[in-house]
Amino acid sequence: MKKIIHTPDAPAAIGTYNQAVEINGFIYTSGQIGIEPGTGRLVDGGMKEQTMRVLNNIDAILTAAGLDNTSIIKLTVFLTDLEGFGHVNDAFRSYFGDVDFPARSTVEVSGLPLGAMVEIECIASR
């Protein structure tokens, strides 16, 4: 059975979707952009700052599901400029620390909601 995951500690959906859905022990997050949960606005700064905010938003969703970043098995990263790839890697090193990195795909796109530079969707497992 499908379970909807929602937390006030991550940004509310800006469209017709949920923050995450769990089914058969897997958690699928919707794409997260660098929105501050309290303000609903993009964080100040560049690619690294937005990526850190996105990862913190994903972390809040996983926490609501009773998980943490060690449960992440795959991330899909959407960037508006692949020149920022190094900044994303820096943010990942800060966020994951000594945890084994998950699988990841990165795709350059022509645009993202609200003018974001990065969007990340996550698959995690119990």
pLDDT in tens, 25-81: 999 999 999 999 989 999 999 999 999 999 999 999 999 999 999 999 999 999 999
| pLDDT above 70: percentage of residues in the chain | 100
The secondary structure of the chain in percent helix, strand, coil, rounded to multiples of 5, reads 30, 30, 40
pLDDT of amino acid 98: 83
Q: What is the residue type of 50?
A: Q
**Region 97-125 average pLDDT:** 96
Class of domain 3-125: alpha beta
Residue 104 has pLDDT above 90, yes or no: yes
Mean pLDDT, rounded, of the chain? 97
pTM of the full structure: 0.96
What pairing do the DSSP bridges indicate for beta strands 20-23 and 3-5?
antiparallel
DSSP 50-82: HHHHHHHHHHHHHHHTT--GGGEEEEEEEES-G
Q: How far is the first Cα of the chain from the last one, in angstroms, to the nearest whole number?
A: 15
